[in-house]
């Protein structure tokens, strides 16, 4: 970890979040004031309860795709240094780095969450629940807990995958799944799963 890293991550997030919130609140107002396809009651769903469940799954896959391409674009040399590099100061991130973004970076990566209800029907309470979930997920992939059920290791994009993204830069851009990294040729099996992760290096140093 960098010197005073946690304090620096918290300070950066606190400076950025108010600026990220301004356009986010504007979009929320547009969504709840009837400009989106959000609805209040289950009977308003075109497919009832199955439609609610289906919308949760499609929300995750749609936003995962959107974030993948936005995140990858932010690594382009014309955008990286100005907007995304501040987040990559943290090579071994902590949960406090999860929202330590440049405001433009943070808002751009949140756009798929706001675009979805303008395109597809979604229950308002489901939307709020999903929004809480994605923020918790963002924290979890920065928390250094590399445990993933063995059968899902190459399907779910967890903390081990995202740690390698911070360490090796050009891999594992996805948010929840590894699908788009595999399609886009940017998937890397996490070094932590191969016994070569940061914790393994620390254990090796301890033995020496």
Q: Give the model's pLDDT for residue 195.
A: 85
Domain that includes residue 158, residue range:
5-206
The per-residue pLDDT for range 72-107, each reduced to its tens digit, is 999 999 999 999 999 999 999 999 999 999 999 999
- pLDDT tops 80 at residue 58: yes
Q: Give the model's pLDDT for residue 203.
A: 62
Q: Give the model's pLDDT for residue 45.
A: 81
Using alpha carbons, select from 136, 146, 145, 150 the residue that is nearest to residue 190: 146
What is the domain count for the chain?
1
The per-residue pLDDT for range 4-24, each reduced to its tens digit, is 999 999 999 999 999 999 999
DSSP letters of 62-77? Answer: HHHHHHHHHHHHHTSH
Number of residues that make up the chain? 208
What are the start-end ranges of the H helices in 75-177?
Answer: 77-79, 103-119, 124-140, 159-168
The mean-pLDDT minimum among 147-156, 174-183, 199-208 falls in 199-208
């Amino acid at each position: 970890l960098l010197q005073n890293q946690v304090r620096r991550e918290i300070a950066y997030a606190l400076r950025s979040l108010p600026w990220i919130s301004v356009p986010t609140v504007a979009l929320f107002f547009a969504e709840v004031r009837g400009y989106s396809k959000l609805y209040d009651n289950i009977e308003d769903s075109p497919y009832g309860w199955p439609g609610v469940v289906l919308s949760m799954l499609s929300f995750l896959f749609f936003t995962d795709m959107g974030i993948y391409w936005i995140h990858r674009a932010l690594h382009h040399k014309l955008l990286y240094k100005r907007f995304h590099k501040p987040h990559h100061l943290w090579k071994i991130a902590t949960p406090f780095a999860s929202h330590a973004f440049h405001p433009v970076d943070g808002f751009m990566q949140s756009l798929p969450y706001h675009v979805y209800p303008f395109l597809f029907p979604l229950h308002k309470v489901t939307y709020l629940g999903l929004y809480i979930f994605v923020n918790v997920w963002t924290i979890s992939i920065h928390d250094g807990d590399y445990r993933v059920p063995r059968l899902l290791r190459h399907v779910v994009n967890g903390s081990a995958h995202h740690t390698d993204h911070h360490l090796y830069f050009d891999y594992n851009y996805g948010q929840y799944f590894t699908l788009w990294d595999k399609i886009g040729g940017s998937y890397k099996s996490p070094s932590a799963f191969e016994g070569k992760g940061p914790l393994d290096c620390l254990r090796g140093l301890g033995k020496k």
